[in-house]
Amino acid sequence: MKYKVAMLPGDGIGKDVMEAAQIVLNAIELDAEYIYGDVGWEFWKKEGNPLPDRTIELLKETDCCLFGAITSKPKKEAQEELPAYLKGKVEYFSPIVKLRQLFDLYANVRPCKAYKGNPLNYRDDIDIVIFRENTQGLYAGVEFYPLPDEVRKALQIHPNMKKFSDVPSDEIAVSLRIFTRNGCHRIVKKAFEYAKEYGRKSVTVVEKPNVIRETSGMMIEEARKIAKSYPNIEYGEANIDAMAMWLIKNPQNYDVLVTSNMFGDIISDLSAQLVGGLGFACSGNIGEKYAVFEPTHGSAPKYAGKYVVNPTAMILSVKMMLDWLGEKKLAEKLESGIARTIEEGKVKTYDMGGNSSTLEMAEEFIKNMD
């Protein structure tokens, strides 16, 4: 086979939409071997590890990965689901966040495109692609609670820590927003290169440098340098709070947005709702040598196994994977089937006002491909 693709269905409806993806992949006859692996809540409860080492090794032997969905719960709730012999000995972590860190999948790419005929569109002329830095920022995982004395002592060199001097260490928590110059540079560069390759007109950096001066300031500084190398692409800057407003007011004015981890998480979900919600929200976690593609919805346990959820986000993630593999014609063929199905409106899942099943939707995509 030309490719080896890891398939990680995960939890809940992740299994349903992954089945739909497999049907589509079989139909387009991608020259690939599909290797299924273990991930998610089931393995947390059994093994105290939602991302077993065997799965990490599996990914190292493949070209890329399709990921379904996972269940995730707060620390205390996660501990309660462990067997007695594991309680207090392991801590829950997000498998997808860990994968991003392990494989340096620094670019989270979220296309948010309004397909003609979708009754859930906010507007029909929205076509935004969001580049979210995927490994640093507030998701770097450097957090403290209670606040260790040595960390507290180090932080006290900053004058703004004086206001917290009387707060007991067990009543204060700290999460660090960590940027590196290289991290800022490569995510902005990735956004501009994408805009150049796909003929996009503008790139807008979304941060908050007037308040978060050092980290957002570094991102803006790097972006201004990079923008000079792309004179044919319009460069813009916007504060995150203003962008949340403008995406509601005039989303059709925006093309490629690039931002940091937490801000990107927020505006990509906002943008997804403008084009139909999380049922249409695909994403790619992309590094230099590996990539993981996934719908951004959760595991929705109450719908698991009922095959009623919209598989479009998953199938659009397949389309992204095909593009990344260089299978441009197959990607175009698949997207044409998705677009035609949505425009015709004959087969629709419940969120779109229909009663078709997950797999019926997938079959209709296949039927409507060029």
Give the pLDDT band of residue 15 (cuts 50, 70, 90). Answer: very high
Which residues does residue 202 pair with via DSSP β-bridges, in sequence order?
234
Query: How many other CB atoms sit within 10 Å of the CB of residue 303?
Result: 15
Whether 370 shows a pLDDT value over 80: the answer reads no
Closest CA to 131 of 178, 185, 190: 190
Instruction: Please tell me the predicted confidence (pLDDT) of residue 44.
Output: 95
Alpha-carbon distance of 135 to 103, in angstroms, equals 10
Instruction: Please tell me the predicted confidence (pLDDT) of residue 73.
Output: 85
Pair 66, 6: CB distance under 8 Å: yes
Alpha-carbon distance of 257 to 240, in angstroms, equals 11
Alpha-carbon distance of 129 to 261, in angstroms, equals 15
Alpha-carbon distance of 123 to 113, in angstroms, equals 10
Alpha-carbon distance of 312 to 243, in angstroms, equals 26
Per DSSP, helices labelled H in 83-148 are 95-102
Quote the strand ranges of 24-173, DSSP E.
32-36, 64-69, 107-113, 127-133, 143-144
Query: How many other CB atoms sit within 10 Å of the CB of residue 369?
Result: 19
Whether 128 shows a pLDDT value over 80: the answer reads yes
Would you kindly state where each structural domain of the chain is located, as residue ranges? 1-109+280-370, 122-139+179-274, 142-175
Instruction: Please tell me the predicted confidence (pLDDT) of residue 1.
Output: 87
Give the pLDDT band of residue 268 (cuts 50, 70, 90). Answer: very high
Give the pLDDT band of residue 75 (cuts 50, 70, 90). Answer: confident
Mean pLDDT of the chain: 97
Which residues does residue 207 pair with via DSSP β-bridges, in sequence order?
239
Instruction: Please tell me the predicted confidence (pLDDT) of residue 74.
Output: 84
Q: Strand 234-239 to strand 202-207: parallel, antiparallel, or no bridges (unpaired)?
A: parallel
Stretch 53-76: mean pLDDT: 95
Which residues have a Cβ under 8 Å from the Cβ of 329 and sit 6 or more positions away?
none
Separation of first and last alpha carbons in the chain: 24
pLDDT tens track for 16-45? 999 999 999 999 999 999 999 999 999 999
Instruction: Please tell me the predicted confidence (pLDDT) of residue 8.
Output: 98
pLDDT tens track for 162-198? 999 999 999 999 999 999 999 999 999 999 999 999 9
Stretch 286-303: mean pLDDT: 96
CATH number of 122-139+179-274: 3.40.50.2300
- Give the domain 1-109+280-370 fold: Isopropylmalate Dehydrogenase (3.40.718)
Instruction: Please tell me the predicted confidence (pLDDT) of residue 256.
Output: 98
Give the pLDDT band of residue 72 (cuts 50, 70, 90). Answer: confident
Instruction: Please tell me the predicted confidence (pLDDT) of residue 205.
Output: 98
Residue count of the chain, please give it.
370
User: Is the pTM for the entire model greater than 0.75?
Assistant: yes
